[in-house]
């Protein structure tokens, strides 16, 4: 859809959502943000705006503190969910008739059922394997020969490594497309997954409060920024402190408004994810705005000796060194009043020189001292199918 037409559609839908006619999309900025705490206050279904009999499914997001956020869906919301995930699959190159190995967790988490419905909607055969039991995953992939896999990026690495340990080369694996999301990851990790699983991996973004996966995803043509399905989810990027919109291309917090959801519409939802927007045309032909891969959630951000540090940033820096692997963990401890940050990272080429080079690179790029400890391959925790926690913050205990 040409952008002027798309923006007219957004304006009509936004007017319907807020119950009055609007002159321009900028009027959205006069409305307050909705924050995670607001949703928590309404637990479990205080914000439901349709009769309860119209709910067809309930998902819940894992709350790091206290109760989860419960998200209800009507028939039409589930239809929208399947549609946007089907779009993501198509943008990644999936076609009707292909088979999808769905290794996202099935359950309250939106990843499993979201990709399940989206895959069926596009006309794929879906294998609902869910996360975990890596051995069984390898058997199913070898025997059913799926074209597409959906899972977290850290689990894609686990699978790639398991294949390699069994002597199966990337070109022998039937997969060609990987739909990866639910945790921040880097270009270095993508190169690793592409090469070792023999796929073209794309980034998929979403959050259950908004719908689940399918808010945005990369096209296989460019893989440079995630096209937001903005006819349904209107994005803004604002300054984390002032809440004012930032200039196009500048980084800030992603704020989303659902334009077509029924049971649980959200106006200006503060996602906490750090991104930037790019409205320049894309070679794939889509006119949908592109968001940069979220650099991490504002609340995932670590403050080490007063410096803001994102785990994904540490990963991106260290993986510039080809000797290091994407298996790492950040440990933060407090000695007296000082924070001590240490990155434990696996490599088969341990040595004092490599360690010093890694520490120097972190200091130069981030601006604070982070110690690096080299570990033997296979010694750090692996993803078992769910999200992998990269940070062990011992200051809180
Ligand atoms: Zn594109």
Of the candidates 316, 226, 231, 215, the one whose C-alpha atom is nearest the C-alpha of residue 271 is 215
Quick one: CATH architecture of 302-393?
A: 2-Layer Sandwich (3.30)
What spacing in Å lies between the alpha carbon of 278 and ligand 1's midpoint? 11
| 14 three-state secondary structure | helix
Q: What is the pLDDT of residues 330-342, one digit of tens each?
A: 998 887 777 889 9
Instruction: Give DSSP secondary structure letters for 256-321.
Output: EEESS-SSS--SSEEEEEEE-EE-S--TT---S-EEPPP--BTTT-EEETTEEE-HHHHHHHHTTS
Q: Are strands 370-375 and 391-393 parallel, antiparallel or unpaired?
A: unpaired
Q: Are 48 and 58 in contact (CB under 8 A)?
A: no
- What CA–CA distance (Å, rounded) separates 246 from 15? 23
CATH 3.30.300.30 domain span(s) along the chain: 302-393
pLDDT value at residue 275: 94
What spacing in Å lies between the alpha carbon of 222 and ligand 1's midpoint? 6
**Helix segments in 92-197, DSSP class H:** 110-122, 134-144, 153-165, 187-197
Q: What is the pLDDT of residues 95-124, one digit of tens each?
A: 999 999 999 999 999 999 999 999 999 999
What spacing in Å lies between the alpha carbon of 288 and ligand 1's midpoint? 8
| 249 three-state secondary structure | coil
CATH 3.40.50.12780 domain span(s) along the chain: 3-291
Residues with CB under 5 A from ligand 1 (ion): 219, 222, 282, 284, 286
The yes/no answer on whether domain 3-291 falls in CATH 3.30.40.10 is no
- What CA–CA distance (Å, rounded) separates 174 from 101? 11
Distance (Å) of CA 308 to CA 27, 82, 297:
33, 37, 12
| 180 three-state secondary structure | strand
Q: What is the pLDDT of residues 263-298, one digit of tens each?
A: 999 999 999 899 999 999 999 999 999 999 987 666
What spacing in Å lies between the alpha carbon of 254 and ligand 1's midpoint? 20
What spacing in Å lies between the alpha carbon of 133 and ligand 1's midpoint? 35
């Amino acid at each position: 859809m040409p952008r002027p037409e798309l923006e007219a559609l957004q304006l009509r839908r936004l007017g319907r959502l807020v119950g009055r006619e609007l002159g321009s999309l900028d009027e959205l900025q006069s409305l307050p943000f909705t924050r995670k705490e607001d949703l928590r206050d309404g637990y479990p279904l205080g914000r439901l705006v349709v009769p309860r009999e119209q709910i067809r499914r309930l998902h819940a997001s894992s709350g790091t503190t206290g109760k989860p956020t419960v998200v209800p869906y009507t028939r039409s919301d589930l239809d929208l969910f399947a549609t946007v995930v089907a779009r993501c699959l198509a943008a990644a190159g999936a076609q009707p008739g292909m088979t999808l190995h769905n290794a996202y967790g099935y359950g309250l988490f939106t990843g499993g059922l979201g990709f399940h419905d989206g895959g069926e909607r596009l006309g794929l055969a879906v294998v609902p394997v869910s996360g975990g039991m890596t051995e069984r995953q390898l058997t199913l992939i070898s025997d059913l020969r799926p074209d597409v896999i959906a899972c977290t990026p850290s689990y894609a690495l686990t699978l790639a490594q398991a294949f390699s340990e069994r002597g199966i080369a990337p070109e022998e694996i039937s997969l060609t497309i990987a739909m990866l999301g639910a945790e921040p990851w880097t270009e270095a990790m993508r190169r690793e997954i592409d090469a070792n699983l023999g796929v073209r991996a794309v980034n998929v973004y979403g959050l259950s409060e908004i719908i689940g996966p399918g808010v945005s995803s990369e096209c296989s043509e460019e893989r440079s920024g995630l096209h937001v399905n903005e006819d349904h989810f209107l994005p803004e990027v604002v300054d984390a402190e002032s809440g004012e919109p930032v200039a196009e291309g500048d980084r800030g917090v992603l704020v989303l408004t659902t334009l077509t959801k029924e049971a649980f519409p959200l106006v200006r939802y503060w996602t906490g994810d750090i991104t930037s927007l790019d409205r320049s045309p894309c070679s794939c032909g889509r006119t949908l705005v592109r968001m940069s891969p979220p650099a991490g959630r504002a609340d995932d951000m670590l403050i080490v000796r007063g410096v803001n540090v994102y785990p994904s940033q540490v990963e991106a820096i260290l993986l510039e060194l080809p000797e290091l692997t994407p298996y790492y963990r950040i440990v933060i401890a407090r000695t007296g009043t000082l924070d001590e940050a240490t990155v434990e990272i696996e490599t088969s080429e341990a040595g004092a020189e490599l360690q010093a080079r890694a520490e120097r690179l972190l200091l130069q790029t981030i601006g604070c001292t982070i110690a690096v400890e080299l570990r033997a391959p296979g010694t750090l925790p692996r993803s078992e199918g769910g999200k992998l926690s990269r940070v062990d913050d011992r200051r809180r205990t």
